[in-house]
Amino acid sequence: MAEGQRKGHMDLTILLQTVLAGVLVGGLYGLIGMGMAINFGVLRIINLAQGELLMVGMYVCYWVFTLWGLDPLLSPVVTIPFLFVLGVVIHRFLLTPLIRARALPENQILLTVGVGLVLTNAALLAFTSNYRTITTSYSASLITLGSIAVSLPAVLAFGIAMLVSSALWLFLMKTDLGKCIRATAQDPDAALLMGVNVERISVITFGIGAALEGAAGSLLVLVYYLFPALGGIFTLKAFIVVVLGGLGSTLGALLGGIVLGLAESLGAVFVSTGYKDAIGFIVFVLMLIFRPAGLVGKARM
Amino acid sequence: MKRMGWISMLAIALVCMATSASVAGEVIKVGLPLPLTGIHAKFGEAIRNAYLLGLEEITAAGGVTKGAFKGSKIELLIEDTTSKPEVARSAVEKLITRDKVPMIVGEYSSSNVFAVAAVADKFQIPYLSQTGAADNITQQGWKWVFRVNQPASEYAGGLQDFLLKVVKPKSMAILFENTLFGTSLSKAVQEWTKEVGIEVTNFEPYEAGAIDFKPMLLKVKAKNPDVMFMVSYLMDAMLLMRQSKELDINPKIFAGGAAGFTMPEFIEGARGAAELVYSATLWAPDVKYKGAREFYDKYYKKYGVHPEYHSTEGYAAAYVLKDVLERTKSLKNEDLREALAATDMLTPFGPVKFEAYKKFINQNRLPTLVVQIQKGKLVTVWPKEFAAADYVYPVPKWAERK
Amino acid sequence: MAARGGKGWRWGGAVLGVAVLLGFPIVVSDVYLQHLAIFFLLWVTLGTSWNLLGGYAGQISFGHAAFFGMGAYTSSLLFAKLGFPPWPGMLLGGVAGILLALPMGHICFRLRGPFFALSMLALSEFLRLVTLNWRDLTEGAVGILLPPFFISKLPYYYIALALAAATMLATWFLVDSKVGFYLLAIREDQDAAEALGIDTTWYKLVALMVSAFFSAMAGSYYANYMAYIDPPIVFSIVDISIAMILVAVLGGMGTLWGPVVGALVIVTLSEAFRAYFAAAHLIVYGVLIIVVIVFMPEGIVGSLAARGPRWLRPRVATDAPGASQG
């Protein structure tokens, strides 16, 4: 009897801890996915270099920490502008000419593949393939709630991811620039007629999409490690997140991220760790079949 | 004066002819395909550096110093195989048919070793593999393929011995990355647990590169096994140990299956959670093989990186190559194969002698070691005859540590 | 008169081309070059089969490795488990590709937009994970090692040549038939095509099945030739799926000869870059992709066709593929 009770308690603890782990990781997935979602909303293309931008963000964070001791939690101050500029440059000099020439969308996507290859391999040449980690004073700290323990960096990363997401939402809803971006996403032709400089908006949006990866990179460093080839893994995750959230919806992406995080962690516990990622894809295909507009329906942005 | 010159030259020529029909002073080119870019670049680089270090020493000491090729220099023709088997194949076909190399060494991943070995065997060119771990590399009946390192299923031999004699566990969790190496080693360990009657509580493959291992670790925690055995590369090993500590999982011992657990970055990246973790390994700098420590120091001095067993394998293979060239009668494939098969020498990686046993042929048979991380350093603790220090056991729980 | 002379040249050129292709491995005995030629032919097959779907029917797939891997695993498992001969197994591999394509097309072609592209990517990743984890059937990550079937490269070469030729001929016939015109209509304006009473889902599905069949055959061929497969190799996103798109886009989407040119450029350049740029070769490769897309958005054949001889121009499209967007 006592044994059974103990076991029941253990199961509940496992469930709670699994859900918590899923949500915490999901918040990061969400932030990574938002960058891709906002790009998709305005440009109508999937940026397959999104993960590589995240990688660049992580290296920037790593170097400002190693060289100047800037805490990763404060490093978004550097990574966000850095990635914004990088995104603007990529769009202005590579994507804009394609869009002006009305190139096929698959050409634009392939272009981002090329950009990703260059970024990954430039990082490989510059920083070698070594794995790097950052250790801060709070790296190994834990928060314990009864029998549940969560690592402090994971909680901090989640919290800041939520802050950045809210800031983005406010920006899109309340500022003029944000309204222009939403108008462009809804109907570029109408926006153009209303006097919105669509080309400029699309450059800025790409910059914001990249900047979000900068922020995500700063946070991911806290719980993960970095190496040049990590982009591909996260491009795929972002991709699933974006579809779950309904293509182009930033709020949906955040939700999609959390759903993906939960699906992965619950799947790992109750099905098999090996199939963990497959569960993500099954959810993905089910979404496509039953709710192609995404979790939050038709609303964009 | 002029006359003297002529006479001395003639004399030298005569002496040369008398000593052997050799081609002294010749350069012997040997093919070295390695993944220098792509996903395995890190290991390709480490192995290349080790070969080059070995070759540099050999050349400084006069190259081939005995036998028919006395005085010859060895040159390694390095080809980047970009971590892809079809490129490995094209590189080796190029080396054999264009550069006419008499022998091939190198490669890293098993999938690429398969590609190289199949070509070498087809062209009947001896191939010395030093890292590829898949068991069936030396089980295919490939007469021309030799291997320096142990097959994957034997990596944990020393650890199994240690478990039986010291820990005497009743249960064990096996977590492994879903790769060829991870799968082969875990399967071998699983079969061994059946033989010796250890219950396997968890048998979990995972996809390398996950952010969060907690769900899987929670399942392990619920079963509370005596041993937690993990086959993981560096980054996963780091996260597994960090998160095991966070979740306060306390088996009698944590044991790694070589790979990531023996790399210096693991100790640093695991942030204290690596302390007292055991691991199977093929080699450690403090192992009592002649030249092991010296190799470690020289490598570190030259490249500023701590070498682990992959590098040592490359360094040892360079010396095996020299030894073979000192014993072969000619550069004909049959003679080289014969010399390779007759190898019996000591290297910093351990003794090298190719044997046929179980289903293997041309396989070097070596014991494997157990290391433990003590005060942030890898220390060889098992088997006793190679141990540099005593093992720390029992291992205190996380909460009881300072 | 002039036109006649041109036609004569064309036939002469065709005969010469066939002679060169058939005679190549006999004249050039260097196995290294033969290996590269085999990979060139394999990429012609893959690029052409992707192009049929992506270039002509306008249905972009980001996960054709799903078919490639399906074919590779089907024939290899049939051989390893049942001893089924591998070359007929190639055909069954192709059939397996079709069986995979059917439900996929049914689900995805009902939807518009990028859903098909994304679902294909998900499908290929899903299959990679299944082959990785279904260890009893597939040996998981350990992969499948097959015995080499021929010592000489000649049989391999001619099989690859036959496969590439069959893929190109199938594309040619299909595109020239009424199916081709329906596909073009769908690519240009799906609503208009539907209004004309074209069963768009069905014709897209036909293109997908043919494309899947040849991609899967190529996968079986790869397994037979390389004699070793494992899930990360045959279900690779970058090395298979993206590379297929690259071959088609680089050469020229919606053109018959585009993938041939694309395959030639990719195979020779990646081999040359590997030798000359060493560690930087993937950067150069990335820059090349960017340069071609920015400066030759219609691909090499597409760009040349605009000013080159008539026979080089896209077979169906009267205007360049890019111009029809928007």
Which one of B180, B187, B204 makes the best mutation probe of the C interface by having the most chain C beta carbons within 10 Å? B180
Amino acid at the residue A211: A
In chain B, the percentage of residues whose pLDDT exceeds 70 is: 94
Query: What is the distance between the alpha carbons of residues C116 and A106, in angstroms, rounded to a whole number?
Result: 13
Which residues pair with residue B73 across a beta bridge? B27
- pLDDT value at position B11? 52
Rounded average pLDDT over C301-316: 61
Contact across the interface for C228 and B111, Cβ inside 8 Å: yes
Mean pLDDT of chain C: 85
Query: What is the distance between the alpha carbons of residues C186 and C166, in angstroms, rounded to a whole number?
Result: 25
Which band of pLDDT confidence, cut at 50, 70 and 90, is reported for residue A7? low
**Looking at the complex, does the CB of residue C113 fall below 8 Å from at least one CB of chain A?**
yes
Return the exposure string of C254-278: e unless at least 16 CB atoms fall within 10 Å of the residue's CB, then b. bbbbbbbbbbbbbbeebbebbeeee
- pLDDT value at position A100? 83
Give contacts of B246 with chain A, Cβ < 8 Å.
142, 149-151
Least confident of A212-216, A258-262, A271-275, B45-49: A271-275
Reported as a single tens digit per residue, the pLDDT across C134-180 is 888 988 888 998 887 787 889 999 999 999 999 999 999 999 898 88
Residue B63 distance to chain C (closest CA, Å)? 27
Give contacts of C233 with chain B, Cβ < 8 Å.
84-85, 111
Residue C75 lies in a domain: yes
Contact across the interface for B234 and A220, Cβ inside 8 Å: no
Contact across the interface for B245 and A140, Cβ inside 8 Å: yes
Contact B389, B381 (CB under 8 A): yes
Reported as a single tens digit per residue, the pLDDT across A44-84 is 878 889 999 999 999 999 999 999 989 988 999 999 999 99
B266 vs A243 pLDDT, higher one = B266
Rounded average pLDDT over C10-32: 86
Reported as a single tens digit per residue, the pLDDT across A85-95 is 999 999 999 98
**Looking at the complex, does the CB of residue C119 fall below 8 Å from at least one CB of chain A?**
yes
**Looking at the complex, does the CB of residue B248 fall below 8 Å from at least one CB of chain A?**
yes
Contact B348, B289 (CB under 8 A): yes
Which residues pair with residue B27 across a beta bridge? B73
**How many contacts, defined by CB atoms under 8 Å, are there between B and C?**
75
pLDDT at B273 over 80: yes
Contact across the interface for C122 and A281, Cβ inside 8 Å: yes
- What is the token pair recorded at B281? 């390994």
Residue C284 lies in a domain: no
Contact across the interface for C132 and B178, Cβ inside 8 Å: yes
Reported as a single tens digit per residue, the pLDDT across B39-54 is 788 889 899 999 999 9
Amino acid at the residue A33: G
Residue A102 distance to chain C (closest CA, Å)? 7
Contact across the interface for A273 and B271, Cβ inside 8 Å: no
Residue A41 lies in a domain: yes
Distance spanning both ends of chain C, measured CA to CA: 41
Residue C85 lies in a domain: yes
Q: Are strands B253-257 and B278-281 parallel, antiparallel or unpaired?
A: parallel
Subunits next to C (3 or more Cβ pairs <8 Å) are A, B
Least confident of A131-135, B327-331, C312-316: C312-316
Residue C145 distance to chain A (closest CA, Å)? 23
Give contacts of B271 with chain A, Cβ < 8 Å.
133, 135, 139-140
- pLDDT value at position B20? 42
Contact C211, C168 (CB under 8 A): no
Q: Is A2 exposed, middle or buried (0-12, 13-18, 19+ CB in 10 A)?
A: exposed
- pLDDT value at position C217? 97
Give contacts of B36 with chain C, Cβ < 8 Å.
278-279
Contact across the interface for B37 and C282, Cβ inside 8 Å: yes
Contact across the interface for B212 and A273, Cβ inside 8 Å: no
**Looking at the complex, does the CB of residue B115 fall below 8 Å from at least one CB of chain C?**
yes
Of residues A40, A30, A93, the one with CA closest to residue A205:
A40
**Looking at the complex, does the CB of residue A116 fall below 8 Å from at least one CB of chain C?**
yes
Q: Which of B81-95, B205-219, C106-120 tops mean pLDDT?
A: B81-95
Determine the structural domain holding residue C73 and report its residue range.
40-236
- pLDDT value at position A118? 92
pLDDT at C278 over 70: no
Residue length of chain C: 326
Of residues C32, C141, C231, the one with CA closest to residue B185:
C141
Reported as a single tens digit per residue, the pLDDT across A161-171 is 999 999 999 99
Subunits next to B (3 or more Cβ pairs <8 Å) are A, C
Which band of pLDDT confidence, cut at 50, 70 and 90, is reported for residue B6? low
Reported as a single tens digit per residue, the pLDDT across B301-325 is 999 888 989 999 999 999 999 999 9
pLDDT at A299 over 70: no
Contact across the interface for C282 and B140, Cβ inside 8 Å: no
Which of A101, A113, A275 lies nearest to residue C133, judging by beta carbons?
A275
Residue C159 lies in a domain: yes
Which one of B175, B218, B249, B261 makes the best mutation probe of the A interface by having the most chain A beta carbons within 10 Å? B218
| Count of structural domains within chain C | 1
Which of B206, B222, B245 lies nearest to residue A273, judging by beta carbons?
B206
Q: Which residues contact B179 (CB under 8 A, 6 or more apart)?
A: B208, C141
Residue A158 distance to chain B (closest CA, Å)? 13
Residue B41 distance to chain A (closest CA, Å)? 7
Give contacts of B245 with chain A, Cβ < 8 Å.
140
Residue B184 distance to chain C (closest CA, Å)? 7
**Looking at the complex, does the CB of residue B191 fall below 8 Å from at least one CB of chain A?**
no
Contact A10, A244 (CB under 8 A): no
Query: What is the distance between the alpha carbons of residues A129 and A119, in angstroms, rounded to a whole number?
Result: 13
Q: Which residues contact B112 (CB under 8 A, 6 or more apart)?
A: B33, B35, B40, B81, B83, B84, B85, B88, B132
Residue C105 lies in a domain: yes
Q: What is the pTM of this model?
A: 0.85
- What is the token pair recorded at C253? 């989407």
Residue B115 distance to chain A (closest CA, Å)? 24
Strands, sheet with B350-357, edge to edge from the N-terminal-most edge strand: B73-80, B27-34, B104-105, B127-129, B145-147, B360-364, B350-357, B344-347
Rounded average pLDDT over C31-40: 92
Contact A90, A202 (CB under 8 A): no
Contact across the interface for A94 and C290, Cβ inside 8 Å: yes
Of residues B167, B222, B159, B143, the one with CA closest to residue B192:
B159
Least confident of B7-11, C109-113, C231-235: B7-11
Residue C109 distance to chain A (closest CA, Å)? 11
- pLDDT value at position B256? 93
ipTM: 0.81
Cβ neighbour number for residue A266 with a 10 Å cutoff: 18
Strands (E), B232-331: 253-257, 278-281
Which of B37, B89, B134 lies nearest to residue C35, judging by beta carbons?
B89
In chain A, the percentage of residues whose pLDDT exceeds 70 is: 93
pLDDT at C316 over 50: no
Contact across the interface for B111 and C274, Cβ inside 8 Å: no
Q: Which residues contact C82 (CB under 8 A, 6 or more apart)?
A: none
Residue C53 lies in a domain: yes
C4 vs B362 pLDDT, higher one = B362
- pLDDT value at position C6? 63
- What is the token pair recorded at C237? 């996103």
User: In CATH, what number does B154-281+368-400 get?
Assistant: 3.40.50.2300
Max Cα distance, chain C (Å) = 68
Residue C127 lies in a domain: yes
- pLDDT value at position B171? 95
Give contacts of C119 with chain A, Cβ < 8 Å.
284-285, 288
**Looking at the complex, does the CB of residue A120 fall below 8 Å from at least one CB of chain C?**
yes
Which of B118, B180, B205 lies nearest to residue C227, judging by beta carbons?
B118
Contact across the interface for B118 and C228, Cβ inside 8 Å: yes
Amino acid at the residue A294: G
Q: Are strands A148-151 and A142-145 parallel, antiparallel or unpaired?
A: antiparallel
pLDDT at B1 over 50: no
- DSSP symbol at B151: P
B209 vs C49 pLDDT, higher one = C49
Amino acid at the residue C309: P
- pLDDT value at position C110? 75
Distance spanning both ends of chain B, measured CA to CA: 82
Amino acid at the residue B58: I
Of residues C317, C150, C283, C312, the one with CA closest to residue C227:
C150
Give contacts of C152 with chain B, Cβ < 8 Å.
none
Which residues pair with residue B147 across a beta bridge? B129, B363
Determine the structural domain holding residue A211 and report its residue range.
35-136+146-230
Q: Which C residues, 275 through 304, put their C-beta within 8 Å of a C-beta on chain B?
A: 278-279, 281-282
- pLDDT value at position A297? 52
pLDDT at C1 over 50: no
Of residues C125, A273, A62, the one with CA closest to residue B212:
A273
Q: Are strands B360-364 and B350-357 parallel, antiparallel or unpaired?
A: antiparallel
Rounded to an integer, what is the distance from CA A14 to the centroid of its chain? 27
User: In CATH, what number does B25-150+289-364 get?
Assistant: 3.40.50.2300
Residue C14 lies in a domain: no
Which one of B81, B84, B109, B114 makes the best mutation probe of the C interface by having the most chain C beta carbons within 10 Å? B114
A97-101: Cβ within 8 A, 24+ apart: A97/C294, A98/C293, A98/C294, A98/C297, A99/A43, A99/A199, A99/A202, A100/A199, A101/C297, A101/C322
Contact B172, B198 (CB under 8 A): yes
Contact B278, B256 (CB under 8 A): yes
Residue C170 distance to chain A (closest CA, Å)? 24
In a 3-state reduction of DSSP, which class is residue B79? Answer: strand
Task: Quote the Cα angle for B289-B292-B298, to 5°.
Answer: 165
Of residues A28, A58, A57, the one with CA closest to residue B211:
A28
User: Alpha-carbon torsion B253, B259, B262, B264, what sign?
Assistant: negative
Give contacts of C228 with chain B, Cβ < 8 Å.
85, 111, 114-115, 118
Reported as a single tens digit per residue, the pLDDT across C82-112 is 999 988 999 999 999 999 999 988 888 877 6
In the block, tokens 């069954």 appear at C92
Mean pLDDT of chain B: 89
Which residues pair with residue C248 across a beta bridge? none
- pLDDT value at position A203? 93
Contact across the interface for C253 and A104, Cβ inside 8 Å: yes
Query: What is the distance between the alpha carbons of residues B17 and A197, in angstroms, rounded to a whole number?
Result: 86
**Looking at the complex, does the CB of residue B162 fall below 8 Å from at least one CB of chain C?**
no
**Looking at the complex, does the CB of residue C155 fall below 8 Å from at least one CB of chain B?**
no
Q: Mutual orientation of helices C86-108 and C115-133 as an angle, nearest 10°?
A: 130
In the block, tokens 């939960």 appear at A262
Query: What is the distance between the alpha carbons of residues C132 and C137, in angstroms, rounded to a whole number?
Result: 10
Of residues A270, A265, A267, A254, the one with CA closest to residue A17:
A265
Residue B108 distance to chain C (closest CA, Å)? 15
Contact across the interface for B247 and A17, Cβ inside 8 Å: yes
Amino acid at the residue A80: I
Contact C9, C309 (CB under 8 A): no
> Residues of CATH 3.40.50.2300 domain(s) within chain B?
25-150+289-364, 154-281+368-400
Q: Which residues contact B12 (CB under 8 A, 6 or more apart)?
A: none
Contact across the interface for B98 and C135, Cβ inside 8 Å: no
- What is the token pair recorded at A143? 């928060």
- What is the token pair recorded at C136? 């009893």
Task: Quote the Cα angle for B173-B175-B176, to 5°.
Answer: 150
CA dihedral C127, C132, C136, C137 (to 10 degrees): 40
Residue A117 lies in a domain: yes
Which of B80, B86, B111 lies nearest to residue C278, judging by beta carbons?
B80
Mean pLDDT of chain A: 85
A113 vs B105 pLDDT, higher one = B105
Reported as a single tens digit per residue, the pLDDT across B150-206 is 999 999 999 999 999 999 999 999 999 988 899 999 999 999 999 999 999 999 988
